[in-house]
Structure 1
Amino acid sequence: MPQVVVVGGGIIGAACADELTRRSASVTLLERDELASGASGRNQGLWVPPEDPALHAIASRSLARYLEIADDAPLPFRIDPHPVGTVFVAVDEEDLAEATDTLATVSAWGFAVSELDDAALVEAEPEVARDLAAAWFIDAGHRLDPAALTVTLALLAASRGAVIRHHLSARALVTDGDHVTGVVTDEGEIKADEVVVAAGPWSPRLLEPLGIRLPVLGVRGWLVRVDPREPLLRHLVRTAEGNGTVASSLAGDIARSGFPTSDGYGSIVHPHPDGTALIGSSRAAWLTPEPEDPSVPRQLLTNAIRIVPRLADAVMLSSWWGLRPMTPDERPVIGRVRDGLVVATGHGSEGVINGAGTAELVASVVLGERPPFDASLFDPFRFA
């Protein structure tokens, strides 16, 4: 079986290590910091049906794997064994068209969707605003601990012989002609039959010296945590994601207008099992760790209070952001880009949702097996 080096200790890299070792590959996982130290440990921790039908197969396989390992995981991690349910709302008439498209996609996937009249909405979630354009209940949505899940997947790989290296950066890829043969690290070269680059928004830095250019942009996503001081919600409450786009900025545009601010606001309120509430979502192009956009937490709170008014009385606890690797069409790039080199990045805000399914596809590519679903949807060269 091949010797595989996986670069990146987030949910994608850890899931790849897990799946490859399940199929008897020899794996070394490299993480420049701690496992789940990036966006994989700094997100809402939800599995919800993706709004893009192309992601259904990859997402459903991911959920199945997470539920499969939950009971016997080497590190206990929290995941709802059954759907907690989602109240999906359209705030105004402008939201209705996008909401209708989303609901049609979710319904076609097989999740039960029911429209809520005023009485049904009061019964489902008494604290949701009554002056909304429409509301529906979706029988879907699992809360989970994303950092613990990531570590669990890595530990499962280690139990089958994988070597997990923390605080070891991959600096460059080693080539022999057009074939990738290993990775240069801070401690020297590690030889490999196959290298899987799953380093999120940092993946292009390894690929570009080989002339491989993927349009993966780092996108900052904020979250806010509040304490309602008493239980307010039983289900997830959310709107559609919004129609904002994320693109690279031109230097001249920044000189004229300043740094980019967040675009593509949606709203999702996540009643955490610890009694707090997590509020998202936003996205803005990331240049360096600074400058931040301090207006984002305020806008997230404004949007959340619009749909759950009593959140105005919740105690503000914290806010933070994570960097999400996003592509122009918001689908990941997964596949072979050179002999001996496979990429798996560009999952945006849905790395947890699609992590284990991504790993199944990666393993099939590395081992020369038939893909478990249509791999052309995630072709790394589709933007050429």
Structure 2
Amino acid sequence: MSGRGPDVVVIGAGIIGAAGAWFATRAGLRVTVLDRGPLAGGTSGRGEGNLLVSDKEPGPELDLALLSRRVWREDLGEHAGLWEFDEKGGLVVAATDASAAGLAELTRRQRAAGVDAVDVGADELPAYEPQLAPGLRGGAFYPGDAQVQPMLAVAHLLRLARDGGAEVRTGVEVTGLLRDGDRVTGVRTDRGDIPAGNVVNAAGPWAGSVAELAGVRLPVLPRRGFVLVTEPLPPTVRHKVYAAEYVGDVASADAALQTSPVVESTESGTVLIGSSRERVGFDGSLSLPALKRLAANAVALFPALAGVRALRAYHGFRPYCPDHLPVIGPDPRAPGLWHAGGHEGAGIGLAAGTGLLLAQALTGATPALGLAPFAPERFDEGDPAP
């Protein structure tokens, strides 16, 4: 670690950077967080705040999700009220016999991996969600699925990190990396150089550009998604509810517009309606076709929403990796550079585990999960098949 400056500079004041900063500070490291914009000014401020295990196939991402769920509940449990932690549970519904069978097979494999998943018959669905459309063929309930208010989570995690001695600087743009041979020894910014023992790239959908500053390739791409927000309603949706097809859509590598119904209420009474995904670069223009499909999908799932007004719509750019796994850990191609990104739409939920793993690895402790599946150099021989 460097004798000058902080032990760690974190590039990015979103949920991944915030969690990494808090855990690293808690582990005794001197941390500086930098962002060219405001706190949660990118992806983290434009999502739904989901903490899910239900949408993940058994494998490294589910392992990370289970770790993260434990960390949100235990390591961060005393602060849960700060970010409106709500373990509302998730209900996945199937519209056809084929999708119901596929969902049952998924829950079987998830239970074998340690997930609490309850198969729900078609006649049992109204007990979970009385206003669901009739004719659905079955579902699955995940009592551990939860939600947080993501902007509050970012703000409070960074405040807690500051209370522990971290420095958080917004409006500071990283323009380059300091080097000593191949080793990264800090960052160059528009406000001056900051030497550091390690640099963590937590720049979300811009992580690829940060990696380029070190001359390494990281194929993180933006994937645009929209969310509709309704007017406040009487209790309409009890859980996070989504169609079984959502799992496959999230795992798809298709660049074209895809939508699948995802509906949930917030504490204020508004209903959040998703989800869409498409790879259009950083095009932030409003897409009426996407919004129309979101609305139609939601009404098909909850007919009572048909006469409800939408107050607004917003979008975010989710950091997409070709193999749908995040990038976490040191980059052997540029020693001193670490990556924490590529979580796509699961970043809020996976942030807690990611932050813990980073802090453990940075301090030389054995990480709670092996980092090999998330290694940044795995893309050197070409992007893996999705």
TM over 0.5: yes
Unaligned residue ranges in structure 2 (runs of 5+): 381-386
Query: Equivalent residue for 1:61?
Result: 67
Q: Is the partner of 2:379 in helix, strand or coil?
A: coil
RMSD (CA atoms):
2.0
Identify which range, 167-176 or 101-110, moves more after superposition: 101-110
CA distance in 1, matches of 2:11, 2:303: 44
1:276 aligns with 2:283: no
Query: Equivalent residue for 1:29?
Result: 33
Do the aligned partners of 2:125 and 2:138 also contact (CA within 8 Å) in 1? no
CA distance in 1, matches of 2:206, 2:219: 12
CA distance in 1, matches of 2:111, 2:297: 26
CA distance in 2, matches of 1:261, 1:111: 32
* Residue of structure 1 aligned with 2:299, choices 305, 326, 334: 305
Q: Deviations over 1:132-153 (max 9, x none)?
A: 2322322222121111111111
Q: Deviations over 1:101-151 (max 9, x none)?
A: 432343234344333334422222111112123223222221211111111
Query: Equivalent residue for 1:100?
Result: 104
> What is the Cα deviation at residue 311 of structure 1?
1.2
> What is the Cα deviation at residue 367 of structure 1?
2.1
How many residue pairs end up in the alignment? Answer: 368
Do the aligned partners of 2:203 and 2:210 also contact (CA within 8 Å) in 1? no
Do the aligned partners of 2:360 and 2:367 also contact (CA within 8 Å) in 1? yes
Do the aligned partners of 1:262 and 1:293 also contact (CA within 8 Å) in 2? no
Q: Deviations over 1:325-359 (max 9, x none)?
A: 01011110112112111111100001111101111
CA distance in 2, matches of 1:72, 1:293: 37
Identify which range, 323-332 or 231-240, moves more after superposition: 231-240
CA distance in 1, matches of 2:215, 2:113: 39
Q: 1:209 to 1:71 in 2, by over 3 A?
A: closer
Q: Deviations over 1:47-90 (max 9, x none)?
A: 111413222332233233333435347x922112xx32222111
Q: 1:183 to 1:313 in 2, by over 3 A?
A: same
Query: Equivalent residue for 1:256?
Result: none
Q: 1:221 to 1:210 in 2, by over 3 A?
A: same
What aligned pairs does 1:172-187 form with structure 2 within 5 A after superposition? 172-187=176-191
Q: Is the partner of 1:71 in helix, strand or coil?
A: helix
> What is the Cα deviation at residue 232 of structure 1?
1.3
Do the aligned partners of 1:246 and 1:284 also contact (CA within 8 Å) in 2? no
Q: Deviations over 1:167-216 (max 9, x none)?
A: 11111111111000110111011001100010011111121243311111
Unaligned residue ranges in structure 1 (runs of 5+): 248-259
Query: Equivalent residue for 1:77?
Result: 83
What aligned pairs does 1:356-367 form with structure 2 within 5 A after superposition? 356-367=352-363
* Residue of structure 1 aligned with 2:248, choices 243, 264, 269: 243
CA distance in 2, matches of 1:370, 1:309: 50
> What is the Cα deviation at residue 297 of structure 1?
1.3
Percent of aligned positions that are identical: 35
What aligned pairs does 1:20-169 form with structure 2 within 5 A after superposition? 20-49=24-53, 50-53=55-58, 54-68=60-74, 69-72=76-79, 76-80=82-86, 83-96=87-100, 98-169=102-173
Amino acid at match of 1:48: L
CA distance in 2, matches of 1:356, 1:169: 25
CA distance in 1, matches of 2:105, 2:200: 35
Per the normalisation by structure 2, the TM-score is 0.89
Q: Is the partner of 1:349 in helix, strand or coil?
A: helix
Q: 1:195 to 1:232 in 2, by over 3 A?
A: same
CA distance in 2, matches of 1:33, 1:187: 14
Identify which range, 90-99 or 320-329, moves more after superposition: 90-99
Do the aligned partners of 2:16 and 2:340 also contact (CA within 8 Å) in 1? yes
Per the normalisation by structure 1, the TM-score is 0.90
Identify which range, 135-144 or 97-106, moves more after superposition: 97-106
CA distance in 1, matches of 2:227, 2:233: 19
Q: Is the partner of 1:303 in helix, strand or coil?
A: helix
> What is the Cα deviation at residue 39 of structure 1?
1.4
Do the aligned partners of 2:178 and 2:186 also contact (CA within 8 Å) in 1? yes
Q: 1:383 to 1:98 in 2, by over 3 A?
A: farther
1:348 aligns with 2:344: yes
Identify which range, 202-211 or 184-193, moves more after superposition: 202-211
Amino acid at match of 2:147: R
Query: Equivalent residue for 2:327?
Result: 333
CA distance in 2, matches of 1:94, 1:291: 36
CA distance in 1, matches of 2:207, 2:15: 14
Identify which range, 114-123 or 275-284, moves more after superposition: 114-123
CA distance in 1, matches of 2:266, 2:37: 27
Q: 1:96 to 1:16 in 2, by over 3 A?
A: same
Q: Is the partner of 1:330 in helix, strand or coil?
A: coil
Q: Deviations over 1:300-333 (max 9, x none)?
A: 1111111111111222111110111010111101
